[in-house]
Structure 1
């Protein structure tokens, strides 16, 4: 069975929204190597509508970070949206029809590499709390962002996680990968 993963840039105070506002001076070679390792295992990406629209407007013509552009543009992408219609403009993008949790669960049973939920805070939360997400990686930058959307909110259901991996980078980023405890 394929694994569903999500990785989010994260501030010490828990902000995951718009990481470009706080990660610019702490992104380092070690973090880049970790992302490259992730890219090499993923052959399918799941996005929410907001992330899809932002990324589809940027990555097809991006001149920066050519390595990620070379990955994200041709990779198979599935988009969770109630308002977008097909055909989607971004290369190799398809709308998820029906229930997203059921779709991703079925996607896990198909042949292929890992499935990555990219960006898409609401979708990461939904799949985590539904038990569909297998791993969550938080790349915590040594910064207090002060404001912005956080991944977890008051009233979220209790979920037990298992620390699978952790490492610190040369600029003080701490990368932690958790799996969902299944008991």
Structure 2
């Protein structure tokens, strides 16, 4: 129990630390950040339940006003921006990513990368497109076209998440709770 709590807090801190990498805000108000890789890692390393809890803890801290999002953003106001769909989708993305890694056997690097693509990109983009369409007063198709700008960077993050998860498994096999 204590170990799980510590890991959930540590991965929430990892997402916050990845927010220190400078963001690149696109013209329609949604930034490209490294924090989505943290969400992917929550799922690939901690598994579905713990990964989603780590992201929920992070979002609760953001909602309380801590400036933990890339660029030093925080507070309830961030949930009224074009990024809202992505933020709401983060826990679901971590959960789906973790669920895939928990249930799909095979090479951990490949499984984690594919899980990160499916959960951390496909599922997350579903939430992101809906949020952007609503906040920017666009159709779903128009919002979907806007998110294509994120695809190359997010695929790179998914591959990195797979490599990091595999490397961590080799260095500390018992630390990959998604395979426990």
User: Structure 1 length as normaliser, TM-score?
Assistant: 0.27
The structure with the greater share of residues assigned to strand is: 1
User: Structure 2 length as normaliser, TM-score?
Assistant: 0.28
The structure with the greater share of residues assigned to helix is: 2
